[in-house]
């Protein structure tokens, strides 16, 4: 806010003109240095009866009172002439709702402040700030705020901008590093995405600004209070209209509707009115609406976009999940081109290969008769390739037969199975820690971690300890297989640690599952993140509950393999007794 503070000296002492002449154009009618000006306060109407106001100005500033508001109109011409003589007249009014204030506001080269501003400065024992020309100043609640508006209609934008200026703040048309707060009517447009991705500015609803204006006379009010910001922070789907398609389960659809409403969005039954068409079954949408044309500023997205919004606690970039239909809407659904962009997490969980397979199968079926007639001619590529495939198949059969003729020691094969299952288990534990635990505990998220430390401990317990133990066992098994060492020795050596780490995990497993289900109902970010992870290929598209039970199953699985290993181990073999001891320890 480019305001100058008026010291008592500057308002009571007349400073002589400089040699350069004061030009009367609008650019030079603002005092750049109040010490060069003579300043007089003009108190208007009911403010003249405010004894506290008069007392605040007494002996400090030059002022005059005009009780009749009609007389104010006659002073405006004189006020503008005085500007050319480096004499500034600042009008003081009680209210910014009166007609006289509106008259002052509509006139050029007029400086207006509120009586509240004068009283507030007197209470703080600070100088009164000089307002900007044609920009009335009521108080300084937002003096440190630089605000950018998103999705605001033009008529509303003017009113809200005035409120910001009245409260001492600044407004920027475009988002930049200087912007401290974004006021969003709806989470749409590039400005919103830029602000959200930069993570430098709070994105708030219009109600926050209206609340600040309502509290303009409250000198103890802090518009940047963390609790107040939390209340008025724009929700992920703020004022977006969603249309869900392809969800056959009524309970699931109702849950989606509930989540939409809870996160600031609205459900529309008319597809044309939707800002976002959220799809579960893309194929069905193409078949149902083969000639649908996307409306202006409307997005057709995969349901993963919805979950990402809830997880991020802000609107995710649609381009990462958008479904683009061909511009040629007259074509049949079978020939429609479907593009689905990869996930923002780097992998492509949303790109379902079965979808492409289905579309290709339909195309193939559509021209099956013609293709068969052409492809089966002796000169066709398919005919020749089929011969080559048969030849390759024969070669493969020969190789397989040779491999089958190589007799492997059963003990060796079971050892290999133990090693491979151990490797797979370690990978699964690593994925749980990396994708779930670590990500959900991250403090650098815009709205903090998805899980608190307590919640994370309730769910994941000592899974990291289990992981490190099995990682060590997997490495030992690798050496044992390669160096022909005793597997029983490895199991016996680690038996005490295995029992130690699995005992608490098994004991609290039921509470772990209960905690997961509870958080799914109470923590929408947690629930949304689980839905996102269900599409991750490295997790086998499994739910967290399905993955957590694997640790319950691991020890029994090891015992079964050790029993099979013992069965094919000679009594005279050194590993025989070690296997028996391992089984006794682990049972």
- Helix/strand/coil (H/E/C) assignment for every residue in 227-292: HHHHHHECCCCCCCEEEEECCCCHHHHHHHHHHHHHCCCEECCCHHHCCEEEECCHHHHHHHCCCC
Residue 225 falls inside a structural domain = yes
Phi, psi of 541 (to 5 degrees): 55, 35
> Alpha-carbon torsion 505, 506, 509, 511, what sign?
negative
All residue ranges of the chain with pLDDT < 50 are: 1-2, 7-29, 327-407
Radius of gyration of the chain (CA): 37
Residue 136 included in any domain: no
- Find the CATH number of the domain harbouring 578: 1.20.900.10
Model pLDDT, residue 326: 59
Do both 390 and 419 map to the same domain?
no
Cβ atoms 198, 30 nearer than 8 A: no
Say which residues have a Cβ less than 8 Å from residue 211's Cβ, sequence separation at least 6. 228, 232
Contact in structure between 315 and 237 (CB atoms under 8 Å): yes
Q: Which two tokens stand for residue 356?
A: 């492409």
**Whether 565 and 444 share a structural domain:** yes
Q: For residue range 216-228, list pLDDT tens digits in order.
A: 999 999 999 999 9
Final residue before a domain boundary, out of 351, 380, 405: 405
DSSP state of 147: E
CA distances from 62 to 14, 39, 115 (A): 11, 7, 15
Q: What CATH number has the domain bearing residue 27?
A: 3.40.50.10190
Whether residues 180 and 75 fall in one domain: no
So what's the pLDDT on residue 31?
A: 61
DSSP for 322-378?
BEEPPS-TTS-GGG---EEPPPTTSS-TT--HHHHHHHHHHHHHHTHHHHHHHHTST
Contact between 503 and 560 (Cβ < 8 Å): no
In a shared domain, residues 442 and 509:
yes
Tokens of 492: 């016996």
Residues 455 and 525 in one domain: yes
Query: What crossing angle do the helices spanning 550-567 and 410-431 adopt, rounded to 10°?
Result: 170
Residues 414 and 505 in one domain: yes
Of 204, 232, 260, the residue that ends a domain is 232
The H or E element spanning position 87 is strand 87-93
Helix (H) or strand (E) holding 417: helix 410-431
Residue 139 in domain: no
Specify if 135 maps to a domain. Answer: no
Q: What does the alpha-carbon distance between residue 488 and residue 473 come to, in Å, rounded to a whole number?
A: 12
How many Å apart are CA 468 and CA 458, to the nearest integer? 19
Q: Which of the 8 DSSP states describes residue 128?
A: E
Q: Pick from 187, 206, 232: which residue ends a domain?
A: 232
The reply to whether 401 and 415 lie within a common domain is no
- Say how far apart CA 3 and CA 168 lie, in whole Å: 9
**pLDDT tens track for 350-404:** 334 333 433 333 333 333 333 443 344 334 443 344 334 443 433 444 344 444 3
Name residues whose C-beta falls within 8 Å of residue 480's C-beta, 6 or more positions apart in sequence: 415, 486, 487, 489, 490
Tell whether 419 and 396 lie within a shared domain.
no
Q: What's the pLDDT at 35?
A: 62
Residue 559 confidence (pLDDT): 96
Residue 447 is predicted with a pLDDT of 78
Residues 6+ apart with CB under 8 A from 494: 469, 472, 473, 476
Q: How far apart are CA 35 and CA 41, in angstroms?
A: 15
Query: Do 469 and 493 contact (CB within 8 A), yes or no?
Result: no
Same domain, 295 and 386: no
DSSP state of 313: T
Q: Which of 48, 45, 47, 90 is nearest to 70 (CA)?
A: 45
pLDDT for the residue numbered 25: 35
> Which pLDDT belongs to residue 33?
59
| 419 lies in the same domain as 524 | yes
Q: Residues of 184-194 as b/e, b for ≥16 C-beta within 10 angstroms?
A: bbbbbeebbbb
Residue 179: which domain range? 146-232
pLDDT for res 29: 47
- Classify residue 222 by burial, with Cβ atoms within 10 Å: 0-12, 13-18, 19+: exposed
Same domain, 349 and 375: no
Domain-embedded: residue 507: yes
Please give the tally of structural domains in the chain: 5
The alpha carbon of residue 141 and the mean position of all alpha carbons in its chain are separated, in whole angstroms, by: 29
| Same domain flag for 555 and 429 | yes
Measuring CA to CA, which residue among 235, 274, 47 is closest to residue 138? Answer: 47
Residue 398 lies in a domain: yes
Question: Is 263 contained in some domain?
Answer: yes
For residue 55, tell me if it sits in a domain. Answer: yes
């Amino acid at each position: 806010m480019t305001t100058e503070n008026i010291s008592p000296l500057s308002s009571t002492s007349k400073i002589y003109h400089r040699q350069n002449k004061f030009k009367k154009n609008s650019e030079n009618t603002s005092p750049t240095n109040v010490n060069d000006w003579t300043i007089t306060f003009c108190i208007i109407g009911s403010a003249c009866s405010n004894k506290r106001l008069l007392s605040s100005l007494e002996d400090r500033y030059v002022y005059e009172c005009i009780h009749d508001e009609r007389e104010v109109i006659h002073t405006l011409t004189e006020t503008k002439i005085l500007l050319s003589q480096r004499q500034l007249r600042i009008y003081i009014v009680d209210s910014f709702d009166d007609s006289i204030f509106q008259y002052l506001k509509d006139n050029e080269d007029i400086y207006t402040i509120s009586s509240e501003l004068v009283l507030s400065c007197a209470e703080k024992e600070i100088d009164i700030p000089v307002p900007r020309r044609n920009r009335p100043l009521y108080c300084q609640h937002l003096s440190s705020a630089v605000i950018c508006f998103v999705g605001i209609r033009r008529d509303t934008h003017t009113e809200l901008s005035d409120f910001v200026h009245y409260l001492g703040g600044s407004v920027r048309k475009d988002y930049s590093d200087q912007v401290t707060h974004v006021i969003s009517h709806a989470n749409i447009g590039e400005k919103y995405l830029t602000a959200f991705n930069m993570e430098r500015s709070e994105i708030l609803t219009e109600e926050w600004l209206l609340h600040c204006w309502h509290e303009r006379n409250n000198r103890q009010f802090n518009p940047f209070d963390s609790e107040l910001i939390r209340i008025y922070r724009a929700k992920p789907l703020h004022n977006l209209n969603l249309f869900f398609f392809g969800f056959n389960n009524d309970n699931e659809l109702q849950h989606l509707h509930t989540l939409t409403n809870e996160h600031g969005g609205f459900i529309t039954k008319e597809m044309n009115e939707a800002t976002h068409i959220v799809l579960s079954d893309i194929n069905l949408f193409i078949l149902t609406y083969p000639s649908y044309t996307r409306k202006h500023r409307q997005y057709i997205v995969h349901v993963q976009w919805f979950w990402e919004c809830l997880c991020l606690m802000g609107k995710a970039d649609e381009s990462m999940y958008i479904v683009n239909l061909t511009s040629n809407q007259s074509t049949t659904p079978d020939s429609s081109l479907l593009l689905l962009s990869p996930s923002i997490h780097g992998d492509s969980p949303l790109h379902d290969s079965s979808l492409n397979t289905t579309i290709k199968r339909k195309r193939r079926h559509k021209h099956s008769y013609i293709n068969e007639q052409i492809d089966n001619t002796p000169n066709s590529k398919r005919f020749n390739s089929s011969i080559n495939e048969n030849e390759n198949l024969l070669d493969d059969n020969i190789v397989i037969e040779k491999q089958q003729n190589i007799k492997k020691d059963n003990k060796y094969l079971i050892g290999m199975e133990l090693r491979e299952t151990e490797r797979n288990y370690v990978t699964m534990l690593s994925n749980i820690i990396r994708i779930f635990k670590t990500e959900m505990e991250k403090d650098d998220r815009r709205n903090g971690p998805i899980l608190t430390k307590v919640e994370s401990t309730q769910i994941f317990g000592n899974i990291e300890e289990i992981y490190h133990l099995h990682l060590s066992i997997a490495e030992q098994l690798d050496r044992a297989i390669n160096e022909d060492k005793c597997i029983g020795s490895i199991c016996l050596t680690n038996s005490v640690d295995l029992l130690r780490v699995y005992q608490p995990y098994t004991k609290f497993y039921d509470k772990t599952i209960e905690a997961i289900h509870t958080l799914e109902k109470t923590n929408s970010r947690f629930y949304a993140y689980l839905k996102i992870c269900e599409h991750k290929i490295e997790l086998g598209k499994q739910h967290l509950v399905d993955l957590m039970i694997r640790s319950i199953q691991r020890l029994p699985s090891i015992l079964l393999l050790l029993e099979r290993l013992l069965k094919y181990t000679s009594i005279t073999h050194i590993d025989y007794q070690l296997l028996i001891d391992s089984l006794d320890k682990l049972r």
